[in-house]
Amino acid sequence: MSQNGQTGRNGTTADPGAGAEQQLRRTLGFRDLVVYGLLFIAPMAPVGVFGTLDAKSHGAVALVYLVATVAMAFTAFSYAQMVRVVPQAGSVFAYARAGLGNGAGFIAGWMAMLDYVLIPAVAYLFSGIAMEALVPEVSRWVWTAIAVVVTTLLNLWGVRTAARVGFLVLAMEIVVLVVFVITAIVVLAQDGAERDWLSPLSGDGTQGAFALSAVVGAVSVAVLSYLGFDAIATFAEEVTGGSAKVARALLFCLALAGVLFVAQTYLVALLEPVSSAQLAAEPERQGSAFYDAVDASVGTWLHDLVAVSKAIGAAFAALAGQAAAGRLLFAMGRDRRLPGALSRTDSGVPRVALLVSAVITMAAAVWAARRDDGLDHLVSVVDVGALTAFTLLHASVVGWFVVRRGGGGAVRWVRHLLVPVLGAAITVAVIVEASGTAQVVGAIWLAVGLAVLAAQWRGRRDAERAGG
C-alpha cells in the first residue's frame, strides 16, 4: 500500500484523493505504536476502579480482568483483520466505510468521536484532580488547562517527538508498577495475605458462594479500562513497514495490558483488609480502595508515588487520545464527511485537526473540572460511543470478507464470521449494562449523527441534480 494514494492489491487506497497537503509522514515503528496504546490505556488503569470491581465481583477482581482481556481480544482481532486491508488513519471510520458503506462509515466515525474526543478530557481531569491534591493552593481546573496546553504542544510538534516523550512517561509508570509489585510480594511473603490466596480468582466468600453473574456484571465495567488500545490503528498511515506491524502492535498491547491488570489486581486484592461485602455496603470507600490497601500494608510513601505517577500518566494518556482524535477528524475531513480544512497537514502533522480536538477537549475538561459532578458526567458519555463503534467494526469484518468478498479468497469462517459475531455480542451486552444516562446521551449523539448524514445526502443529491 503506497502513501501517494495508489490502489493496493485489495482495492483500497491509503489516502483517496489526497494531495500533498493531505499526507501524513511515516515515522513510527512498532515500539512507538505500543507506547501510544499503553499510554492511552495507562498501565495502572485498575487503580481507580479496583474497589468498584472488587465489590461487584464478590472479590474475584483478578478473574474479572482475565475475562475482560479475553472479551476485548475479539475486538483487537477484528481491528487486526481490517487494518491489514484498509490501512487508513480513520481507523473504524475507514473500516466501516469499506465493509458496510459510506453511511455506516460516517456513523462509526461519529460515534467514535465521543470516545476519542472526551476520553482525553477525562484523563486531563484525573491529572488535574491529582495535582490539586498535591498542590491544593492551585485549583484543579488550572492544572487541567496546563496539562491540555503542554500535551497539545507536544502533539503539534509531531507524532515522533510526542512518542519519544511518551516513552519516558510510560517507562516511569512501568517502574512505579514494578515497585508496587515487588513491594507487594515482599509484604505478602513477610506478613501473609489478608484474604485467601485464590480469592482474587474465586471470590472472597463474604457475599456468598462464587457467582458467575457477578463476575460478568463486573466485566462490563472492567472492559472500559482497555478503551484506548484501538487508538494504535489511527496511526496506520504513519507507520513504517506496513500495516501488519499495526496489527501486531494492537494484539501485543492488549495482551500486555491484560497481564499488567491481572497481576496488580491479584496482588492488591490479597493486601486488601476490607472485604468485598464491606465495599459493597459502603460504596464511598470504593474509589480509594486501592490506595487504602497500599496504605494499610505498605505505607503512605507508596501511596504518594502511585498518586504522582497517576497524575503524570493521566496527562500523557490524554496526549495519546488527543493524537488519535486528531487522526480521526483528519480522515473524516479528507473524505468530506467533516469540513475539509481538518484534512490539511503541515510537515506531515494534521495540526488543524489536532487544534480542533484540543479546543473541544479543553472546553469539556475545564467545564468538568469546575463542577463537583463533572467527572461523573464525562465518564457516563464516553463509553457508549466507543462500544457502538466497536460493534460496527465487527460488522465491517463480516461485510468486507463475507458479504463483499473483499479478501479476494475463500472466507475463513472462524476469523471472518464467528469471531466478529461473538465480539459484537460482547460489545452490545456491555452497552446494555451501561448506565441509563450513558445510553440516553449515546442515543442523542447517534440521532444527531443520523441527521447530519441525512443532510449530507440531501446536499449531494441536490448538487447532482443541479449539475445534471
Of 31-40, 271-280, 287-296, 334-343, give the range with the top mean pLDDT: 271-280
Interval 254-298: pLDDT, tens: 999 999 999 999 999 999 999 999 988 888 778 778 888 888 888
More confident residue, 376 or 305: 305
Residue that has been written with the C-alpha cell 475507514 in this structure? 94
More confident residue, 6 or 310: 310
Rounded alpha-carbon distances, angstroms, from residue 306 to 44, 166, 175, 176: 9, 18, 10, 7
pLDDT at 385: 80
Mean pLDDT of 65-90: 87
DSSP run (H or E) holding 334 = helix 300-334
Q: How many CA atoms lie within 13 A of 274 on its CB side?
A: 24
- What cell numbers appear for 343 in the block? 484534512
Contact 290, 46 (CB under 8 A): yes
pLDDT of 21 over the 60 cut: no
**φ, ψ dihedrals at 77, nearest 5°:** -65, -40
Rounded alpha-carbon distances, angstroms, from residue 446 to 160, 166, 356, 395: 34, 33, 21, 17
Count CB atoms within 10 A of the CB of residue 216.
16
Q: Band of the pLDDT at 14, cuts 50, 70, 90? A: very low
pLDDT at 13: 42
- Buried/exposed code over 294-316 (b: 16+ C-beta within 10 A; e: otherwise): beebbeeebbebbbbbbbbbbbb
pLDDT at 181: 92
Q: How far is CA 263 from the centre of its chain?
A: 20
pLDDT of 44 over the 90 cut: no
pLDDT of 1 over the 50 cut: no
Q: Band of the pLDDT at 90, cuts 50, 70, 90? A: low
More confident residue, 105 or 377: 105
Q: Band of the pLDDT at 336, cuts 50, 70, 90? A: confident
The dihedral over CA atoms of 87, 334, 163, 303, expressed in degrees to the nearest 10, equals: -100
Helix axes of 92-100 and 61-85: crossing angle, nearest 10 degrees? 60
Mean pLDDT check: name the lowest of 8-12, 13-17, 455-459: 8-12
Q: Band of the pLDDT at 184, cuts 50, 70, 90? A: very high
Mean pLDDT check: name the lowest of 5-19, 284-298, 447-461: 5-19
For residue 14, the 8-state DSSP code is: S
Mean pLDDT check: name the lowest of 67-76, 341-350, 451-460: 341-350
CA distance from start to end of the chain: 35
pLDDT of 421 over the 90 cut: yes
Beta strands in 189-319 (DSSP E): none
pLDDT at 183: 92
Instruction: Report the mean per-residue pLDDT for the chain.
Output: 82
Find the angle CA(135)-CA(379)-CA(181) to the nearest 5 degrees: 60
| Residues in Cβ contact with 29 at an 8 Å cutoff, skipping those fewer than 6 apart | 239, 240, 241, 245
Interval 97-143: pLDDT, tens: 889 988 888 898 888 887 777 878 888 887 887 777 678 888 888 98
Contact 103, 96 (CB under 8 A): no
- What cell numbers appear for 210 in the block? 462464587
**φ, ψ dihedrals at 13, nearest 5°:** -125, 145
pLDDT at 17: 46
Q: How far is CA 38 from the centre of its chain?
A: 9
pLDDT at 69: 93
**DSSP code per residue over 102-145:** HHHHHHHHHHHHHHHHHHHHHHHHHHHHHHHHHSTTS-HHHHHH
pLDDT at 23: 62
Contact 385, 445 (CB under 8 A): yes
